[in-house]
Amino acid sequence: MTTPVLEAIGLRKEFPGSRVAVDDVSFTLPAGGSLGVVGESGSGKTTVARMLVGLEAPTAGTIRIDGETAATSKTARRTRAQRVRHAGRIQLVFQDPYASLDPRQTVGNGIEELLRLHEPDRDRRQRRAAELLEQVGLDERMAASTPNALSGGQRQRVAIARALVSRPRILILDEAVSALDVSIQAQVLNLLADLRGELGISYLFVTHDLAVAQQVTDELVVMRQGRIVDRGATDRVLTDPEHRYTRDLLAAVPREGWQPTRRR
């Protein structure tokens, strides 16, 4: 059996005050696959994402990348080399691209700053930055622009380009298209589909939007109050959900011709 690119095994996260945000969450992501983690606000899905990329240490459980343990409740004991290796293999794209970009820095300088970790030669860094911009569908001349000169969709493409600097095995996208207009959402999702085919990269989409999940994921896990309540192939979960909570989520999606109820 092929080793999954990502495994989450019994993840648990407790915050001060004994609040349990995530409880016994397990799933796998195959190489080149796309997994959706869906649920309403407060379901624990973003906390899972933060544990996967090392922004939060799990209270219990294990995270493996390519069969190698990347994080446990003893994460703080890892060496610096282990932390750098983990960060290089898995990257996070945030919901708000503007918040993840330095408004004082040009797009090109922002990408080159990350490339310094991998490429000491300045000319090669500039060429690689131009290649990354082209890879996400942006003109290399945008390297001279600052984030405030770009549209929301362009900024998110820059954020994706920055995430690709280390040639990661996995991209985690935390509500990465929810702040964009529907037409721009479609363009960014098409870009991600192209990159998946071109690079063989694996995706984990954290989203509350079932339409996005249906379009871009192979499998889904549905979270409620920190636990997984439904899982399976995306089409199966969305057409024949096993849990009542999943059915409630589907029932809440506005249908064609939907009109708001007038309050008297």
- Identify the CATH number of the domain in which residue 36 sits: 3.40.50.300
How far is 95 from 180, CA to CA, in rounded Å? 9
Confidence at residue 19, expressed as pLDDT on a 0 to 100 scale: 85
State pLDDT tens for residues 122-139.
899 999 999 999 999 999
Confidence at residue 16, expressed as pLDDT on a 0 to 100 scale: 86
State pLDDT tens for residues 88-119.
799 999 888 777 788 889 999 999 999 988 78
Could you tell me the residue range of the domain that residue 67 belongs to?
6-105+152-251
Per the structure block, which two tokens stand in for 39?
Answer: 């649920």
Residue 257 placed within a domain: no
Confidence at residue 260, expressed as pLDDT on a 0 to 100 scale: 46
Q: What is the dihedral of CA 95, 223, 227, 27, to 10 degrees?
A: -80
Of the listed ranges 46-50, 109-113, 211-215, the least confidently predicted one is 211-215
Strand, coil or helix: what is 229? strand
Residue 44 placed within a domain: yes
**Residue tagged 């409880």 (tokens):** 23
Residue 174 placed within a domain: yes
Residue 131 placed within a domain: no
Q: Which residues pair with 64 in a beta bridge?
A: 7, 69
Look at 77 and 9; give whichever has higher pLDDT: 9
146-156 mean pLDDT: 91
Residue 263 placed within a domain: no
Q: How many domains does the chain have?
A: 1
Q: For residue 141, give the DSSP letter.
A: G
Q: What is the chain's percent helix, strand, coil content, to nearest 5?
A: 40, 25, 35
Confidence at residue 233, expressed as pLDDT on a 0 to 100 scale: 96
Mean pLDDT of the chain: 87
How far is 224 from 32, CA to CA, in rounded Å? 27
State pLDDT tens for residues 160-187.
999 999 999 999 999 888 878 888 888 9
Residue 1 placed within a domain: no
Confidence at residue 263, expressed as pLDDT on a 0 to 100 scale: 46
